[in-house]
Chain A
Amino acid sequence: MAHADATPVLELQGIGKEFGAIRALHDVDMQVLPGEVVGLMGDNGAGKSTLVKIIAGNFRPSHGEIRFAGDAVHFNRPVDARGVGIEVVYQDLALADNLTAAANVFLGRELKRKFGPIALLDHKAMAARALELFGELRSETRPDDLVKQMSGGQRQAVAIARTRLSNARLVMMDEPTAAISVRQVEQVLGLIHRLKEQGVAVMLISHRMPDVFAVCDRVIVMRRGEKRADKPIQETSPEEITALITGAKEAA
């Protein structure tokens, strides 16, 4: 469970973001503790993806400060964020369809073997490690199959397996359970539990109320770029969250 006294793995202070005249985010504060699962909810256009992209280093915030494990950080590129231990499963999964599952899992951090001065890909090691990761996720995914031939759930497993390669301390998932089967949703939720057990903080962006209430310790509601609620899951209800999302209730 979350420890109240632990250093937050992620801390946002006054984060704002403008795209030209559009104010996508305004004055967002939040904290995420190690091993905590935080649900981020909100209607379309509420600013959830923008917030994730700022934390992941895709965008610079227009205002505010990000602290990671207590230190102020400035990410210029996604690699910078990954460097400190932030991994993202993107809404559109960001997979290369023409490559195999294993190739996608290791994309950008391929395992290599040295042959004198040249380093060649270590296909065997990558396939074996990918198979292990798929096993952990209980996903029937063959490392050597092309991603373009895979189901939505398998693609999800590939995207999630990527985050397990490094020792991520914060994993953000943007709509991981959209567009997959019920059985596969359970797998994904199971994985979130496993990340939590290992002390990894998870930020789950989802439209699906049952998923959020099944795995999250805390829920944050965004509306029109602002944080409207931030509550432990025991102290709220799906009805209240729905009211906050739609604006029937302004804040809580």
Chain B
Amino acid sequence: MAMPLESPITFSNVGKIKWWQRGIFASQTGYVLLALAVLLVIMHFASPYFFTEGNMQNVAKNFSFIAIATLGVTFVIITGGIDLSVGSMMCFSAMITSMVMTELSAPGSPLVHMAADGKTVLANVPGLILLVSILAGLGVALIAGLVNGFCIAVLGLSPFVTTLGMLSIVRGLGYVVSNGRGSFPGGPDADYFYAATSGDVLGVPVPFIYLVILALAMAVVLHHSAFGRHVFALGGNEKAAELTGIPVVRVKIEVYVICALAAGLQGIIISGWLGSAPANMATSYELNVIAAAVIGGANLAGGIGGPLGAIVGCVLLEVIRNGLVLAQVSSYWQQTLVGVIIILAVLVDRIRSRMS
């Protein structure tokens, strides 16, 4: 018989934690979300243009351009690490993708056998070049992520220094392979490439669709898989994680790989929107990405963070940027304001945890 589960404990001394004292309501993500809602209302009254479809699409597209990388870096931040190489990684993956695409499409390229009709063999299968070139772009990200993870988890180097080095290495390699000129997606699959990166489905920009899918996947992984639980445990108490037999080294390497792959994917998407992968693409984007994650509630000390926070952080940054543009405030002020908001968000969180 299905009996209601009898609690073996009577709670006489220990009160139940109230719903507003737990979960999202007690988190930085919660009140940043609230701040965002207030901001949206203000924007609505301040500018009649703000809530138009065109502007909303613009906002959605713009924040999607850093949000996927922010999801990735959030994994790293939850473990208590940091990845400064995301901006360079975006550029390098984008560059490799468009170079491989162009190269495989060129008749007479040394890598590719010629088919009878003069096109490359790969070009005869629609989309195959696109697939190979995106895999190549993600492949270099995978390698960079593995190197980051190996140095940090196995050699025990500091994440800050390791990924600062990787920032420079990857940016430098981008200049080396392109001779500093950048690269352009080309060949028969270029149209597919643009459709897959900067097109839209029923008026919704595709980067936004990717973002939603990846964020949902991330939520499931973080909260409903053993791996996600280990990611949180690592950030909460690394020593405890190790003592309980969690494969700490493996989990660490995995989060840096995830982060690099997310950055690579993000870069590939941005290059589709720009129509090229210039060698200085996404320079200093790591700052925006980390700022968005932190504003959204990821704690740099580790143990706290999630996809909702990452997205809320990105949206907040973009809405403010958009608002400043609509208000015709100089774009130089944007960066200043971002800094102020980071400090404010962390300050409010500190005050809140002092009070409880």
A140-B9, A142-B14, A146-B22 in contact; A90/B233 too (CB < 8 A)?
no
Q: How many pairs, one residue from A and one from B, have CB atoms within 8 Å of each other in the complex?
A: 97
Contact at A97–B237, with CB atoms within 8 Å? yes
Across-interface contacts of A204 in B (CB, < 8 A)? none
Contact at B232–A78, with CB atoms within 8 Å? no
Residue of A nearest to B234 (CB): A96
Contact at B245–A79, with CB atoms within 8 Å? yes
Across-interface contacts of A146 in B (CB, < 8 A)? 22
The yes or no answer to A141 lying at the interface (CB within 8 A) is: yes
A96-B233, A112-B226 in contact; A131/B7 too (CB < 8 A)?
yes
Across-interface contacts of B245 in A (CB, < 8 A)? 77-79, 82, 108-109
Interface size on B, residues (CB 8 A): 34
Contact at B8–A132, with CB atoms within 8 Å? yes
The yes or no answer to B239 lying at the interface (CB within 8 A) is: yes
Across-interface contacts of A79 in B (CB, < 8 A)? 245
Contact at B226–A121, with CB atoms within 8 Å? yes
Least CB distance, B161 to chain A, in whole angstroms? 26
The yes or no answer to B16 lying at the interface (CB within 8 A) is: yes
Contact at B14–A96, with CB atoms within 8 Å? no
Give the distance in Å from the alpha carbon of A139 to the alpha carbon of B236 in the complex.
23
The yes or no answer to A233 lying at the interface (CB within 8 A) is: no
Across-interface contacts of B230 in A (CB, < 8 A)? 108
Least CB distance, B15 to chain A, in whole angstroms? 10
Contact at B17–A145, with CB atoms within 8 Å? yes
Q: Which of B5, B224, B240 touches A120 (beta carbons < 8 Å)?
A: B224
Across-interface contacts of B17 in A (CB, < 8 A)? 142, 145, 149
Contact at A131–B9, with CB atoms within 8 Å? yes
Contact at A96–B220, with CB atoms within 8 Å? no
Residue of B nearest to A90 (CB): B243
The yes or no answer to B246 lying at the interface (CB within 8 A) is: yes
> In B133-188, which residues have CB < 8 Å from any A CB?
none
Least CB distance, B233 to chain A, in whole angstroms? 4
Contact at A94–B240, with CB atoms within 8 Å? yes
Across-interface contacts of A142 in B (CB, < 8 A)? 11, 14, 16-17
Across-interface contacts of A95 in B (CB, < 8 A)? 237, 240
Least CB distance, B84 to chain A, in whole angstroms? 24
Contact at A134–B9, with CB atoms within 8 Å? yes
Across-interface contacts of B233 in A (CB, < 8 A)? 96, 99, 103, 107
The yes or no answer to A7 lying at the interface (CB within 8 A) is: no
Contact at A135–B8, with CB atoms within 8 Å? yes
Contact at B229–A99, with CB atoms within 8 Å? yes
**Can you list 19 A-B pairs with a CB-CB distance of less than 8 A?**
A58-B243, A78-B243, A94-B243, A95-B240, A96-B236, A96-B303, A97-B236, A97-B237, A98-B303, A98-B304, A99-B229, A99-B233, A107-B229, A120-B224, A121-B224, A135-B7, A135-B9, A140-B13, A146-B22
Closest 9 CB pairs of A and B: A135-B8, A96-B236, A98-B303, A98-B236, A108-B244, A94-B240, A79-B245, A140-B14, A108-B245
Task: Known A-B contacts: A78-B243, A107-B244. Give 16 more (CB < 8 A).
Answer: A58-B243, A94-B243, A96-B237, A98-B235, A107-B246, A108-B245, A108-B246, A112-B226, A119-B225, A121-B225, A121-B226, A131-B7, A131-B9, A141-B9, A142-B11, A146-B22
